[in-house]
Structure 1
Amino acid sequence: RTDPEALRAVVPEPLEIEEPLVRFEVMKMGEVDGFGPYVEAGQVIPIRHGGEHGEYLHAMYLDNFAATAAGRELSAYPKVMGSPRLFTEASTLVGTLDYGSQRVTTATMAYKWQPLDPEEARDQITVPTYAVKVIPDYSGGLRVCDLVRTRITDVTVKEAWTGPARLQLNAHVMAPLADLPVLEVVSASHIVTDLTLAPVAPVHDYLALGTGEPGC
């Protein structure tokens, strides 16, 4: 749970905020076609678009340049380079994010504390996600500024766990995750799965509608 005013400042219209929640996630990709293994971390924000519940992709940090570039260019993922990690230590699942030499985030969760219902885990993973796709033109203006939607498919949940967790965010000008402060840890999950990332589709054209929303 975070500061409602800080959350409203980063979520573009026409997306709507129902509760002041933000999720920090670390994903350890064991094998990805074309890229191999990598780790990414970031923040996603639960939202509503029309009659659909979804999530807005606010920030993503990866340790693989090819996956970072492809995610930005082919889709609309707000990916930049960073140094995320996910590992176990002393009965604890630990997720960290460094930007350069500086620690930005430390997340800890009791390791395999309590089983999570596989259907609930599937619902967490397959929620539709939204992002802003921006492509500049040759004069410094904008050629494309779209709100796009995608959804994870072909999900096989292998393991799912829940348990107590803590999250620490440190202020960093180039990785401003702490701008959405942690007021309360509402829940935590640890899910092992196979999945497929689907292509994005535009759902709102800011330029055509003349609505230069945040991010454009």
Structure 2
Amino acid sequence: MKLHEVRKQISTPLGAPAFPVGPYYFHNREYLNILYRTDMEALRRVVPEPLEIDEPLVKFEIMNMGDVTGLGTYIEAGQLIPVSFNGEKGEYQHAMYLNSHPAIAAGRELSAYPKKLGSPQLYIDSDTLVGTLDYGSLRVAVATMGYKHQALDPEQARQEICQPTFMLKIVPKYDGTQKVCRLVRTQIKNVTIHGAWTAPARLQLFAHALAPLSDLPVLEVVSASHIVTDLELSMPDVVYDYLAEH
């Protein structure tokens, strides 16, 4: 392979890259979102400055990606924390667990999504929408919500999906020190809402050393939503460089 050909590659191995070039379009992406109240001190231990915490809230989400160009089908779960940065309200992407290596590699290498391997599920059990997350052979989360009890305003659903998202991009040098350490911002803008609902919901989190979702304990469920969309992901912008002099 010639030098100019190597320079065009975006991932290894060269003969069969871990993921294809985007953009990535999501068709009928299905969300189960549960917003809950947690312990403020627990949040302060995991949210990096200069992000600011306004309220002790966390959003647990499970997303069923049934049709993604270039990536196929997979399911993802994680936690987002409502924050603000320079007066702009958004969400800090704290942790993500999913069952697709191409999606993990693309999310970590092309962007800054904090993705790890896990086994989420999203399905209907009688009259209940159920989301679960296993890490290895152990269950670490169970979310339940009434199935399509009340319609949710599509504009409210759009605002929920399209909030600015902040993430940490960390790339180490070969000696283990940081080569890149940046706070980045992304925002979904191109969204079509196919349906949105709300209903009573509950969430259980179970302790695990390597999937510590329960470190942000559930004190009270505030709201829940079930949303089906088409959308396209946007590339992130750097908003803060931790290695630069400030």
Normalising TM by the smaller chain, what interval?
over 0.9
AA in 2 matched with 1:69:
A
Match of 1:10 among 46, 70, 76: 46
AA in 1 matched with 2:229:
T
What TM-score comes out, normalization by structure 1 length? Answer: 0.96
Offset of residue 153 of structure 1:
1.9
Name which of structure 1's ranges 27-36 and 125-134 shifts more when overlaid on structure 2.
27-36
Where do 5+ consecutive residues of structure 1 fail to align? 211-216
SS of 1:152's equivalent?
Answer: coil
Name which of structure 1's ranges 200-209 and 174-183 shifts more when overlaid on structure 2.
200-209
Offset of residue 209 of structure 1:
2.9
Matching residue of 1:118? 154
Matching residue of 1:175? 211
Offset of residue 51 of structure 1:
1.7
AA in 2 matched with 1:159:
G
State yes or no: 1:43 paired with 2:75.
no
Partner Cα distance (2:174, 2:135) in 1: 30
Q: CA RMSD in A?
A: 0.7
Where do 5+ consecutive residues of structure 2 fail to align? 1-36
Matching residue of 2:89? 53
State yes or no: 1:86 paired with 2:104.
no
Match of 1:164 among 177, 200, 203: 200
SS of 2:179's equivalent?
Answer: strand
State yes or no: 1:100 paired with 2:100.
no
AA in 2 matched with 1:99:
Y
AA in 2 matched with 1:160:
A
Q: Which has the higher contact order (CA 8 A, sep 6+)?
A: 2
Structure with bigger gyration radius: 2
Match of 1:133 among 149, 162, 169: 169
SS of 1:37's equivalent?
Answer: strand
Partner Cα distance (1:108, 1:172) in 2: 20
Match of 2:109 among 59, 70, 73: 73
State yes or no: 1:31 paired with 2:62.
no
AA in 1 matched with 2:136:
G
Partner Cα distance (2:78, 2:175) in 1: 31
Matching residue of 1:145? 181
Offset of residue 140 of structure 1:
1.6
Number of residue pairs matched by the alignment: 210
- CA offset digits 1:27-76 (Å, max 9, x no partner): 00111111101100000000001121100000000100110011001100
Partner Cα distance (1:52, 1:140) in 2: 33
State yes or no: 1:185 paired with 2:221.
yes
Partner Cα distance (2:175, 2:39) in 1: 38
Partner Cα distance (1:209, 1:77) in 2: 25
